[in-house]
């Protein structure tokens, strides 16, 4: 059986979710796949669980490496892959059983497409508990310039991974998939969304995305803007509008906090401590 799709599943401290993710791969109605489980130096039971699945079906493969981050893990898995198409899948997310059946023909039949994705369900605990749905739009890099609307779990030609040099391993704090999609599409290649909910994204209180949104948004955006400065310069007016919009939003948020009852009460409570601190400093 020929391998058409290589599914790359990096795992770091997510062994407890891995079974659900790999089961969704095994359940695919499209049979021509291999699944490479990349143990990114995980300290949990990733190795044991992965080897169980490799014993269960020969289409599962296992790769262990030192911890290097998500980009490094994906690149390592793709480097040993045999498929014409690549599908990254995080160890805590789930595919609809018809994901490959519906998406693979899109790439096969349309030579202008580099990437094909779909609508997404966001869930907590199990896929029956859907809390949000996402229906992204867009076909060219212009729709990607200021925010990423293509899920990391999207199907693409392996040759474009080779052409752009893979995922940027300097991006250890998230947004690496956003930069990767821009790198592929900025020369004129297109992408498409299949209008069906075929991907399930797990929402959790602690995740790499939450950490990124809380602490690394500005630095990641700066990195992407500088790396692909030629397209942002070509869209100078729109880029300036977007940056000033972010500044205004930040100032508005600050004002709302300072005018809130909680902030005023906290300020009153803290006043005696500030006075005491000043007295101690003077001594």
Find out whether 164 and 184 touch, Cβ atoms under 8 Å.
yes
At 198 the three-state DSSP class reads: strand
Same domain, 146 and 261: no
How far the first Cα of the chain sits from its last, in Å, is: 81
Judged against a pLDDT cut of 80, whether residue 3 lies above it is answered with no
Same domain, 24 and 115: yes
Structure tokens at 84: 């014409």
Please check whether residue 178 lies inside any domain of the structure: yes
Please check whether residue 88 lies inside any domain of the structure: yes
Q: What is the CATH number of the domain that holds 156?
A: 3.90.550.10
Judged against a pLDDT cut of 70, whether residue 62 lies above it is answered with yes
Percentage of the residues of the chain whose pLDDT score is greater than 90: 72
Tell me, what's the pLDDT at 263?
A: 45
Per the rule left: phi > 0, alpha: psi between -120 and 50, beta: everything else, 41 is left
Same domain, 261 and 149: no
Judged against a pLDDT cut of 90, whether residue 268 lies above it is answered with no
Same domain, 112 and 245: no
pLDDT single digits (tens) 128-177: 999 999 999 999 999 999 999 999 999 999 999 999 999 999 999 989 99
Q: Give the residue-averaged pLDDT of 105-125.
A: 95
Same domain, 95 and 198: yes
Beta bridge partners of 58: none
Long-range contacts of 50-55 (CB under 8 A, 24+ apart): 50/11, 50/18, 53/22, 53/26
Count of domains forming the chain: 2
Tell me, what's the pLDDT at 243?
A: 76
Same domain, 179 and 269: no
Residue 41's domain spans which residues? Answer: 5-207
Band of residue 265 on the pLDDT scale cut at 50, 70, 90? low
Which range, of 35-44, 104-113, 155-164, 274-283, averages the lowest pLDDT?
274-283
Structure tokens at 112: 């202008």
Please check whether residue 167 lies inside any domain of the structure: yes
Band of residue 253 on the pLDDT scale cut at 50, 70, 90? low
Same domain, 189 and 250: no
Band of residue 235 on the pLDDT scale cut at 50, 70, 90? confident
Same domain, 171 and 269: no
What integer best gives the mean pLDDT of the chain?
Answer: 88
Tell me, what's the pLDDT at 269?
A: 57
- Count the neighbouring beta carbons within 10 Å of the beta carbon of residue 52: 14
Tell me, what's the pLDDT at 237?
A: 83
Rg (CA), the chain: 22
pTM of the prediction?
Answer: 0.84
């Amino acid at each position: 059986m020929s391998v058409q799709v290589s599914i790359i599943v990096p795992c770091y401290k997510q062994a407890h979710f891995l079974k659900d993710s790999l089961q969704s791969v095994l359940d695919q109605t499209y049979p021509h796949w291999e699944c490479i489980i990349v143990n990114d130096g995980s300290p949990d039971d990733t190795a044991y669980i992965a080897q169980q699945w490799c014993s269960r079906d020969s289409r599962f493969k296992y790769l262990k490496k030192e911890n290097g981050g998500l980009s490094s893990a994906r690149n390592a898995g793709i480097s040993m892959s045999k498929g014409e198409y690549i599908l990254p899948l995080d160890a805590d997310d789930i595919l609809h059983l018809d994901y490959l059946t519906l998406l693979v023909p899109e790439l096969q039949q349309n030579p202008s497409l580099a990437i094909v994705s779909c609508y997404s369900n966001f869930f907590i605990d199990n896929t029956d508990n859907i809390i949000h749905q996402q229906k992204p739009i867009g076909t060219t890099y212009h729709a990607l310039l200021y925010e990423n609307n293509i899920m990391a779990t999207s199907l693409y030609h392996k040759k474009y991974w080779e052409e752009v040099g893979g995922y940027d391993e300097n991006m250890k704090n998230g947004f690496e998939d956003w930069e990767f999609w821009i790198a592929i599409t900025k020369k004129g290649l297109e992408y498409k969304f299949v209008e069906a909910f075929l991907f399930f994204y797990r929402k959790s209180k602690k995740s790499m995305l939450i950490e990124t949104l809380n602490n690394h948004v500005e630095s990641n955006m700066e990195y992407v803007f500088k790396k692909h400065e030629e397209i942002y310069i070509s869209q100078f007016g729109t880029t300036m509008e977007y940056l000033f919009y972010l500044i205004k939003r930040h100032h508005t948020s600050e004002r709302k906090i300072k005018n809130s009852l909680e902030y005023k009460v906290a300020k009153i409570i803290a006043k005696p401590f500030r006075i005491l601190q000043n007295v101690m400093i003077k001594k």
